[in-house]
Amino acid sequence: MLTYKTAGDLMTTWITEYLIKRDDDIRLIEKYMPVPRLDPAAVNRAWDLIGDRGILRGFVWGDQAGCWQHAACLIDIQELILHSIDKPGWAHELLRILLEKKMRFIESMKGARFDLIETGGGAASSTLISPALHEEFCLPYDRKMHEALHSLGFTVVYHTCGGTKAIEELIVANGCDASETLAPTSIGGNQEPWEYKAKIGRRLALIGGLDQFNVLTTGTKEDIRAMVFKLFEKVGCEGGYILSCCDHFFETPPENLRAYAQAARECLY
């Protein structure tokens, strides 16, 4: 029997007991972990409701969309990293099991009118694992998922809420169409959004870049306006950029949101 526990508050949920406690637990996951099927009709009703007023974003099934990132929700990330070094065959087998299940879910997405599908997750960030680990344990599985999503006509954004330094070329190589969240150093990233943009060029669309705490929540209206324009000019200079916060925010004053929206409206090509 496999068990796990979570805790949470009004803002988020976290894992207090991981599902995998023994190496052979992955066989139980392989045999018994169910894979839901998506109902495209419900998605399409939402798409009709939103129309051109927004972007309808979807997500590949799992605690996280990426295989490595999903695995990090089943076993403590420190143990997963050690297993990838000491028992790489076991780590790859877990990732294979998760990929097979995700591919089954992707099959059920056919006909769903999502504007964008999110994959990846923070556990592949270079502030957590090395580029070498990313290349071996993330890239091959990400690429296969993206190929499957593209075969159904979806546009894919790869989510990296953390460091992107030294994995820029790996993100391009995984076949995604866009990269997010461009987390700056002020909130735990390891390079600035415009530094990332300089390396990526026009090969990928970019989403994110705005510090949701130090700028949007606690900054002045002048701070917000200045950063919005800086991101537009240095990251969005060639187009292919969606300005957004790098992560969730919960205590932002409404007047700051209005200042953010007004500054964004003034960014015109």
Query: Looking at beta carbons, which pairs linking 19-24 to residues 24 or more positions away fall under 8 Å?
Result: 19/74, 19/75, 20/74, 20/75, 20/94, 23/87, 23/90
Q: 39-171: which CATH number, 3.40.50.2300, 2.40.30.30, 3.20.20.210, 3.30.70.20?
A: 3.20.20.210
Q: Give the model confidence (pLDDT) of 183-236 as tens digits.
A: 999 999 999 999 999 999 999 999 999 999 999 999 999 999 999 999 999 999
Q: How are the residues of the chain apportioned to helix, strand and coil, as percentages rounded to the nearest 5? A: 50, 15, 40
- 265's CB contacts (< 8 A; 6+ apart) are none
Q: Give the model confidence (pLDDT) of 45-102 as tens digits.
A: 999 999 999 999 999 999 999 999 999 999 999 999 999 999 999 999 999 999 999 9
Q: Give the model confidence (pLDDT) of 121-174 as tens digits.
A: 999 999 999 999 999 999 999 999 999 999 999 999 999 998 999 999 999 999
Query: What does the domain layout of the chain look like in residue ranges?
Result: 39-171, 202-269
Q: 16 is written with which tokens?
A: 């207090």
